[in-house]
Amino acid sequence: MKLWKTPPSTAVILRYLLAPPIIGLAITLFSYPSGFKSLGTMLYVLLYSYCIGIPSIALISIAGKKLDRQFPWLKNPFKKLVLTVVMQIVIVLLVLLIVQISFLLINKNSLDQLFGQLSTGFYWAVSITVFGIAIANGFLFFKNWKQSALNEEILKREKLAIEYEALRNQVNPHFLFNSLTALTTLVHQDADKAEAFIRKFSDVYRYILENRNLEVVSLRNELHLIENMAYLYHYRHGDNLQIELELNPSDERYILPMALQMLLENALKHNVISEDRPLKVRIFEEGDHVVVWNNLQLRNNVSDSNNVGLSNIQLRYSYLSKVAVEVERSDQFFQVRIPILDQT
């Protein structure tokens, strides 16, 4: 448990310490230059500036963060710039008005003096505030627009890398090699089974070719892929591998293409499969998730594992859903819960 919060950065401290007096002195220079001759006036200006500057900076920071979430710079930069300038001007003017009235009431001015002094220097205060906010946001606009464009480019590159890795995993060379080896043996043993094996094998790669560029596929199509793969894997491992499928073949609910295939292959790749230690894999629905569960019996080493399959799925889902992929591991089992998408 942390007893202390992270201290504010030097930039934040300087913003609160330096910005208010600099603005206050600039306003005094334009509206009341003779005030620089009086130490009392300067102290009054500093106190007045901090009373306006500190709450204004704090409120602008809070409101700015909320505005950033609703209106990112990259999507509509001009609209974001206008909203930011208007928001900051309104905040500063409200704080300025409240502080001005408070100072005048504390000094016990009459109502006529109150309104008279409110107008004194108010024009310069408003003008310099608006000008300063416009200049600051001009620089901020170009800085954020450039950073947003850079972030967008980074995301595009990451997405391309993810798609490439997904495709590389989809056409698993070990799966291809093992399937062809099994088919070679089967051709000489049983022509009918060999023909059925070829059909399932071709269905798997037809599915990959047809769906590899899609963002999502229906549960029905993904279930068909897993059924074909389960058939191919069962021929190789027999009863040593037990795959249970409990999915509703829906055309109205969606999932990432090849996500279940990648999780199934990960389970086979990372776990021992033998007559003494059969591997059990369950793929079933649980609420708005598909769960891929397997009993845990890890191999000592996995030579071709690059630990990117699950991360690949998590990153791909982050582009399409706010619901995160959930991973749970114990001494007995390993499972991944991936969200079902209601629409494309």
Q: Model confidence over 3-41: pLDDT tens digits?
A: 444 445 666 666 777 777 777 777 666 666 776 777 877
pLDDT for the residue numbered 40: 77
Question: Which residues of the chain have a pLDDT value below 70?
Answer: 1-14, 27-32, 35, 72-77, 108-149, 151-178, 212, 302-309, 343-344
Per-residue pLDDT, 295: 95
Crossing angle of helices 309-318 and 122-170, in 10° steps, is: 140
- Signed CA dihedral, 75, 77, 81, 82: sign only: negative
Give me the pLDDT at residue 133, please.
Answer: 63
| pLDDT attached to residue 332 | 93
Whether 293 and 335 have beta carbons less than 8 Å apart is answered as: yes
* pLDDT for residue 3: 41
Dump pLDDT digits (tens) for 232-252: 888 888 889 999 999 988 888
Q: Quick one: pLDDT at residue 91?
A: 83
* Residue 230: closest CA among 296, 175, 285, 171: 175
CB of 240 within 8 A of CB of 313? no
